[in-house]
Amino acid sequence: MSDQSSAIEVCVAGTGSYVPERILSNEELSTMVDTSDEWIVTRTGIRERRIAADDEFTSHLASKAALKALEQAGMQAADIELIIVATITPDTPTPATACYVQQQIGAARAVAFDISAACSGFLYAMKIAKRLISDGAFQNALIIGAEKLSTVTNWDDRSTCVLFGDGAGAAVLRRAEAGEGAIVATEMGTDGNLTHLLEIPGGGSAKPITAENVNQHLHTLSMQGREVFKIAVTRMKEAAEKVIERAGWSADDIACVIPHQANLRIIDAIADRLAVPNERVFVNLDKYGNTSAAAVAIALDEANRTGAFKRGDHIVLVAFGAGLTWAAAAIRW
């Protein structure tokens, strides 16, 4: 689905992120399943990930990230008109995690709802919020990618448990004033023929929570990694190219690419295909692993706060996940 031009421009006014304190290293994982630091680093680039405490829910991670984004934007929670949380690990099936966030941060005026688009969720939320602001429905929005993937990880399965982590990232979007940055182009795509490649098969209406289903780990993530890998490279490359072209940029114009943080080999392959040098591609998966909807959001915040780009620079965000889904955004910062 492509972007259409719109008179009102929408900018990113602030970003924030939060990761839990507890670090789970590759060494520690090697004592839990038959794996090694060497295998995990070579195949994925991941060195450690964060694990939320039992009493720390997705909404808590989301709220902490949101408050930092609000602070950077110079706005109060009470000013926020819309909250969208992208997550596959909501606090509860209903109500939406965004409703808990609304209460926790005190954004009493905000309309709040969740979206489920897995690792592409934060960029789906960006597109939805951008459109609702540019259409005049809302003045601003808080978009958040937040996950507690440790609750849907099969800790006996070495092929998946080494990959995932917990965390949250947020951004405040608002109408841009003249001369400010803007979300220039966005792209979203889905292929529902490939739902089986990456899924949590149980816990929904198809295979409800029963003791038997839980014993079979149907409430945890399963993935056909090799297949997903190939499609991730192709779809993310295509989505990034589309927004770059629509923005009227070339690879040389891009100060920073912020890709989904699933596998360093996927990131390197995309950088290569887009002809963007590796030093202009932001990577933090070594510290956090794959945090699904939170990954691009956390990376955006860290890139922003560490000066990977500055006002006026061109940046590209691109993600890929279960669905299968993919999305990209071109932003003039």
Comparing CB distances to ligand UT7, the nearer of 39 and 249 is: 39
Q: What is the DSSP letter of 329?
A: E
| Residue 290 within binding range of ligand UT7, rule CB under 6 A | yes
236 binds ligand UT7 (CB under 6 A): no
Which token pair is 234? 């192709």
d(CA 324, CA 212): 27
Closest CB 181 distance from ligand UT7, rounded Å: 28
Q: Which positions are annotated as active-site residues? A: 119, 260, 290
Closest to ligand UT7 by CB, 16 or 323: 323
* 270: Cα separation from own chain's centroid: 17
Q: Does 262 bind ligand UT7 (CB under 6 A)?
A: yes
d(Cα 40, Cα 239) in Å, to the nearest integer?
28
49 binds ligand UT7 (CB under 6 A): no
Query: Which C-beta is closer to ligand UT7: that of 159 or that of 210?
Result: 159
Asked if residue 39 binds ligand UT7 (CB under 6 A), the reply is: yes
Question: Angle CA(303)–CA(130)–CA(307) in degrees, nearest 5?
Answer: 15
Work out whether 24 is an interface residue with ligand UT7 (CB under 6 A). no
Residue that the structure tokens 């926790």 belong to: 104
Q: Does 243 bind ligand UT7 (CB under 6 A)?
A: no
CB of 197 to ligand UT7, least distance (A): 9
Report the nearest approach of ligand UT7 to the CB of residue 324 (Å).
8
197 binds ligand UT7 (CB under 6 A): no
Q: Which string of DSSP letters, residue by residue, matches 201-212? A: -SSSSSS---HH
Residue with tokens 């919020």: 129
Pairing of strands 182-190, 254-259: unpaired
Whether the Cβ atoms of residue 69 and residue 16 lie closer than 8 Å to each other:
yes
226 is an interface residue for ligand UT7 by CB under 6 A: yes
One-letter amino acid identity for 117? Answer: A
Give the interface with ligand UT7 as residue ranges (CB under 6 A).
35, 39-40, 43-44, 119, 158-159, 162, 225-226, 228-229, 232, 262-263, 266, 290, 320-321
